[in-house]
A and B are shown apart, each in its own frame.
Chain A
Amino acid sequence: MTGRESSAPETSAPDADGDSARRVRRMRRFDNPWRNPKLIWGAGLLLGIVALGILGRLFWDADLVFTGAGTPRQAPAGFENLRGQAGSWSHPFGTDVSGKDILALLIVGAPNTLYVGVLASLIGMGVGIFLGFSAGFIGGRLDDAIRVGSDVMITIPPLLILVVAQASFGDIGLTAMAVLIAGFAWQSPTRLIRAQALSMRESGYVLMARLSGASTGHIMFREMLPNLVPYLFGSFIANVTTSIVTAVGLEVLGLGPQRVPTLGRVIYDAINSGALIQNLWWWWGIPTVLLAAMFIGLLLINLGLDEVSNPRLRRL
């Protein structure tokens, strides 16, 4: 990961044969694009978080998320709180101001946060694939309408419309929030797929398929879609990131589901109760680190995917 290959832009002077062999070995590293370190690390991080949610429920009591599950303001095991009380292994990550167990909050909250992001992104992708293909493939007035629509909707910051929506609807569930966020997750995939469909429509193999009497459905789903998979997957991951960011943003503003623990909700409660000033760092800090790990995992997957589909990027 040092960028050695690219640091020799000038032709080097005559060299021994051994040099060539060494260079060949270095190239071989890129043989299997899927054995990409970024992809593996990213997927590992995310799987770890999912595993925390699944295994956590088996080995830890999820009911500890409720008020009064333990003594309030306990520090994590091995640390002391401001009053000098040492943390215990009965609450390894400590407790919040009302005695909720932080570990239980993470075990329940992290999958909830991921769920909102993935669901919103899936809906957004579905709508995006449908609109993007319709615009790029059918064209004409429909294309104009979809293009202008997605251009306009991409300019509007989703958070603010969602703030209005959630402020008027009051308490909502996780799924309802995902659906609302999905209302702003279709624009990027629509634009991406439209652009790809437009260029693919004129490509040789689509012309060949038309010559072969293929139906529109066959051309869209059998000829074009398989080649879009890397883009779709990249777009999906980017969308999950944006959706989680939006969800966490709403939660930190005190909106979103009020009764279901999510990572954003935990952080909201912490800030609201002055956890920063009281130095209850584990209350907001551990969920923040977990969220950060989630985002880093998503970013690594996306970077890895970029490198898989564009070999020229593989030199960082």
Chain B
Amino acid sequence: MGRVPLSYLANRLATLVLTVFIAATLIWIIPRLSPIDPADVMFGRMAAGGGSIENSEAILRGLRERFGLDQPLIVQYLLYLRNTFTLDFGISTAGFPTPVATLVANALPWTVGLMLFSLVVTFFIGNLLGALMAWERTPRLWRIAIPAAMVFTSIPPILSGLLLMYGFSTQLGLFPLTGAYGLNVEPGWTMDFVRSVLHHGFLPAMSIVVVTFGFWALGMRGLMITVQGEDYAVLARAKGLRPRYILYRYMIRNAILPQITAFALKIGLLVAGQVLVERIFAYNGMGKLLYDAILDQDFPVIQGVSFVIILMTALAVFLVDLAYPFIDPRIRHGGAGA
């Protein structure tokens, strides 16, 4: 195997760091541009609920110090950066005194699990169906069925989620309406728990899959049509290779490359869509955490969740970029590629 050029690695790594840095900065600056001071809001809520907490004064002072509001802005900013990059997002004001990091750590596995399934599975299904749409040997029935299934493409997953919820939970009662697992099962590696998780996860996952596979399928179809016209596809047929072999090793293998680039670009939007799905299904992931935090105006949690999701997205893009040279030899030998 050839080695990945260092310049490519350095380039991708720099993009990763820059992305995370800019995101962190935006999350810090935007609230400070607002005429409403988030700290005031927070203090207000704390004060309102403070009657029942004995040492509320001390907590408020502690918060003020924590935010360093008496210090110059630049110091506040650097302090914030240091905390953020060590994943210390402070303490939830609504769920006092739980650290934001703990809340995020509890929610993260659910989101990552759902994301792995919905993003990756959708990518594979979508591309396979798209390839079949363009392939001249696809059975007639499939050629009609696949485009028909794509009517829902580009509808945001929240809408499909609502429809699926209504149809399969409210009306048919086949799947639970909300939550990530049943209230009557203990979390743990038991059969009951796993079954409950799969049962609860099915509808959220499906609501993402049914509306996003079409995007990949359409892109793949266009690329396949381009690849079919390439000289190497002509030579492959002239070589008398088996049609299925040509489909996989010559056509899909080449057409998938731009799709993977598109995947990296699209992750951000897909993650956002999933956050919303988690919110409507009250799935125990980051989406629900974020929504609850918005309701409670729990600023540290909003910032923490936003940052972690952006960090995850950037990492996912970075991983795709790292994998890319291994599937496209031209990047491997061609030096810096973008």
Contact = CB atoms under 8 A, between A and B. Distances in A.
Interface of A: 1-3, 6-7, 9, 147-148, 151-161, 163-165, 167-170, 241-242, 245-246, 248-249, 252-255, 267, 271, 276-277, 279, 281, 284-285, 288, 291-292, 295-296, 298-299, 303, 306, 310, 312-313, 316
B35 to A, nearest CB: 8
Given A152-B15, A164-B26, A164-B306, 20 more contacts: A1-B147, A2-B143, A3-B143, A148-B18, A152-B18, A155-B265, A156-B22, A156-B313, A159-B272, A160-B290, A161-B23, A164-B303, A168-B30, A168-B33, A168-B38, A248-B159, A254-B294, A276-B166, A312-B225, A312-B226
Contacts, number: 173
B338 interface: yes
A159 B26 CA distance: 13
B222 interface: yes
The list of the 4 closest CB pairs from A to B, nearest first, reads A159-B272, A168-B31, A160-B306, A157-B268
The B interface is mostly helix, strand or loop, or mixed, namely helix
B30 A160 contact: no
B154 interface: yes
Contacts of A163: 290, 294, 302, 306
Given A152-B22, A158-B272, A164-B31, A249 B156 contact: yes
Contacts of A241: 154
B314 interface: yes
Contacts of A284: 162
A154 B165 CA distance: 31
Nearest to A312: B225
Interface in B1-25: 15, 18-19, 22-23
Interface stretch (B61-69, B184-192, B274-282): B274-282
Interface string B20-45: 00110011001101111010000000
Contact of B222 (A254, A295, A310): A310
B27 A245 contact: no
B206 interface: no
Given A159-B272, A160-B306, A161-B26, A267 B294 contact: no
Contacts of B103: none
B155 A276 contact: no
A292 B155 contact: yes
A251 B38 CA distance: 20
A41 B335 CA distance: 46
A271 B280 contact: yes
7 contacts: A152-B19, A155-B313, A156-B313, A160-B309, A161-B23, A249-B156, A299-B154
A245 B156 CA distance: 6
Interface in B301-319: 302-303, 305-306, 309-310, 313-314, 317
Contacts of B147: 1, 316
A257 to B, nearest CB: 15
Contacts of B238: none
A260 B273 CA distance: 23
A159 B163 contact: no
B323 interface: no
Contacts of B154: 241, 295-296, 298-299
A66 to B, nearest CB: 24
Contacts of B133: 316
B126 to A, nearest CB: 14
